[in-house]
Structure 1
Amino acid sequence: MSELAPGSDRARPPGTVRISSYLLYAVAAIEVVSLLVTLATLSSLRQALTDAYAGTELAESGDTVAIVVAVGGSIFALLVAIGLVVLGFLNLRGKKAARIVTWVVGGLFLLCCGAGQVLNSVGGSMGADTGGANVPDQAAVQAKIDAAMPGWYNPVNAVLGIIPILLVLVALILLALPASNEWFKPRAATWEPPTPGYPVMPGSSYPTPQFPQQAGEPPLPPAPPVAGSEPPETPAPPR
């Protein structure tokens, strides 16, 4: 069976494109879960930061800034993931421009999320002074947060941060495979003849199909002339 052009009702994208789009859908779902986890633990995080910065120069603004950064980062990642979902849908339709944009947006997603994971790891391992005599060091702040958060928070948060990076990376690689390249190539539309028994639109150059006659039925009237064409000549009566 020959492949049909992208966008046709009967067209089926190759497995590489389908899996790539499904992975992008999964990323969006994971980012929704990550945002819900952040909102569920927001009060505990605020309390931990308030205790950590109590009596310091950052007592009034430190917890607010940290919470804004945490929630803002989750919302940004969610918006990017939703954009990837839209691009995944367009990739299934064979839109070449959507594949290029997917590579760009996916690359930015990997860069931002990867940098965030590195900063979290480095920040969690720093125990030195942060630059002020009346400012708690990072280790003390992280200890307060770990004590206030539920026991499942750190492992779940780590998984929700790493899995989307891997899924987007695999999705981008699948879009670059030869099977995917074939799907995004432009193809000439093929003409299909009209179904017998259905009228042809006015102005068409194709003849109007006729229904088969049954025995004993009166003859069918002649087909109406096509707009812009010469009317058929009436045969002369026999002499």
Structure 2
Amino acid sequence: MSSILFYGVPEGCSFGSIVALEWSGLPYRLCRVEMPEVVSTDEYKQINTVGETPSLLLEDGRTISESMAILNHIGARAIGSGLGFAQGSEDFDRQNQMLAFLNTSFFAAFGPLWYALEHPMEPQDEQALTAYGTAAVEKAHHTLEHLLAGREWLLGNGPSLADAYFVGIARWNDFHKVVDRRQFPSLHRLYERMQQEPAVRFAHAIEHRQEAKSSGAFLGEVDLTEALGLLKQAA
């Protein structure tokens, strides 16, 4: 059994894990999880008890959740491709540090905006939450521009797991329209460059159910019922 990535739509941060799998060359399949309808069901919680995406079902029946854990797992299995680095090495630490920033600061900055959009509340409460989220997103963009320091890629040497995770989150600004990304030249160039990556085009096509051409080892999609059956077989 090949691994199965459970990806969330619409606009899931699992987008970055699809990009990373494409880059890795590792064989994998995908399982589409609609949010919030399917992700919160008892069936999906057999895969991820927290009821979130992404999740990765491994060949031996184990499951991994949380983007950072999944990306580091992919990196560890793809060291030969240059995508991952040996744990404890300088490159591993730099990449892990960047992933942590993206996860705790860049990702989290959009949280208030998603909450205000998805939950009914009093107008003044929505306005306050939106203002808080807007300030957080602006700050995160300023910080990321500083971290890039004019480099072409987040780690400087070429595409990395951090760039894959970045592009899945950065697109949320296009949805919420918080900042003009052109105010952040290095960040803007990185985002535009990533849009030309075949792996990113593939992930977009998968999410929108368009014709998708894999340049990796994508083996097709399975539905949740089939994935749960495979999980039981592996147990």
TM-score norm. by structure 1 comes to 0.35
| Larger strand proportion of the pair | 2
Larger radius of gyration: 1
Q: Could you state the TM-score of these two structures normalised by the residue count of structure 2?
A: 0.35
